[in-house]
């Protein structure tokens, strides 16, 4: 029976949520987020009346992210992963994306390499047990709750760090979830921000200096007990601090790119948003 790839419909959400790979958490909140976000375009692979795969594309203007891309186990080995990947690549290219990026799973990496993606760096995923007792490492600055008026400063700092315009997701996280900022002592701006994440992640942490980054990590990991953080291997200061307070590296995954390299600053990113949003 032929497999048809088409845009995801509202009625597909429950079936797509059932595609959750082994070892992943509940993916239904992610799928609902993609459905509601204008930056995202999600496709499904349908065989008869069954959804057997899905892929999401997130467009940030000249840059875009692919993922997640999921194929159910019984449908692997049929080239479906490549078809889904090409579909989201075509969608992003048609919207003007010159840089395509993704986080590769063990199953997906060979597919992406054949399509021209190359490894740029790796993400480390650090975790601690829920009952872990962690010690605070105090900084000299102070946090305050994020305010709506902070959005332009958050967006500017985020553009410097990510090399992308992620305004739509930043605005949504700020409005619906809140978070924290480290203000400059003279009141002229912010040194860093932490926005409470979508249901499947702690949320982005970006800072212009190490002390601010550590203070925000402390808020997320110790005060709010988010015991799982994803960060680039290139931010050694973040990894060192997380290990210092009790987290360990549980796994790693390759960040891959096709096209122009984005001018990002991994040393400023202390926690990513997610694998599909950067």
Confidence of residue 183 (pLDDT cuts 50, 70, 90): very high
Q: What is the pTM of this model?
A: 0.93
pLDDT > 60? residue 84? yes
Mean pLDDT value across residues 202-225? 96
| The length of the chain, given as a count of residues | 278
Domains of the chain are 3-116 (3.40.630.30), 126-271 (3.40.630.90)
What confidence tier does 197 reach under pLDDT thresholds 50, 70, 90? confident
**pLDDT, tens digit, for every residue of 2-18?**
999 999 999 999 999 99
Q: What is the DSSP string of 73-136?
A: GGGTTSSHHHHHHHHHHHHHHHTT--EEEEEE-TTTHHHHHHTT-EEEEEEEEEE--TT-----
Q: For residues 206-211, give the mean pLDDT.
A: 98
74 pLDDT above the threshold of 60:
yes
**Phi, psi of 37, rounded to the nearest 5 degrees:** -100, 125
At 137, is the pLDDT very low, low, confident or very high (cuts 50, 70, 90)? low
């Amino acid at each position: 029976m032929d497999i048809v790839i088409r845009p995801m419909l509202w009625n597909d959400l429950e079936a797509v949520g059932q595609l959750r790979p082994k070892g992943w958490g509940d993916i239904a909140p992610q799928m609902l987020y993609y459905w509601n976000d204008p930056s995202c375009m999600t496709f499904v692979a349908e065989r008869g009346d069954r959804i057997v795969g899905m892929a999401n594309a997130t467009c940030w203007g000249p840059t875009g992210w692919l993922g997640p891309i999921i194929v159910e186990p019984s449908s692997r080995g049929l080239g479906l992963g490549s078809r889904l990947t090409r579909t989201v690549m075509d969608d992003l290219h048609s919207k003007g994306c010159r840089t395509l990026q993704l986080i590769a799973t063990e199953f997906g990496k060979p597919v992406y390499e054949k399509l021209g993606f190359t490894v740029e760096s790796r993400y480390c995923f650090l975790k601690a047990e829920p009952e872990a007792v962690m010690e605070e490492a105090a900084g000299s600055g102070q946090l305050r709750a994020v305010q709506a008026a902070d959005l332009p400063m958050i967006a500017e700092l985020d553009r410097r760090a990510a090399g992308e315009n992620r305004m739509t997701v930043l605005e949504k996280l700020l409005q619906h979830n809140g978070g924290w900022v480290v203000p400059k002592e003279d009141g002229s701006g912010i040194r860093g921000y932490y926005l409470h994440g979508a249901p499947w992640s702690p949320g982005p942490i970006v800072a212009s200096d190490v002390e601010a980054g550590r203070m925000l990590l402390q808020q997320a990991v110790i005060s709010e007990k988010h015991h799982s953080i994803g960060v680039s291997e290139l931010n050694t200061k973040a990894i060192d601090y997380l290990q210092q307070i009790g987290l360990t590296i549980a796994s790693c995954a390759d960040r891959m790119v096709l096209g122009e390299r984005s001018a990002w600053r991994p040393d400023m990113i202390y926690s990513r948003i997610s694998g599909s949003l950067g």
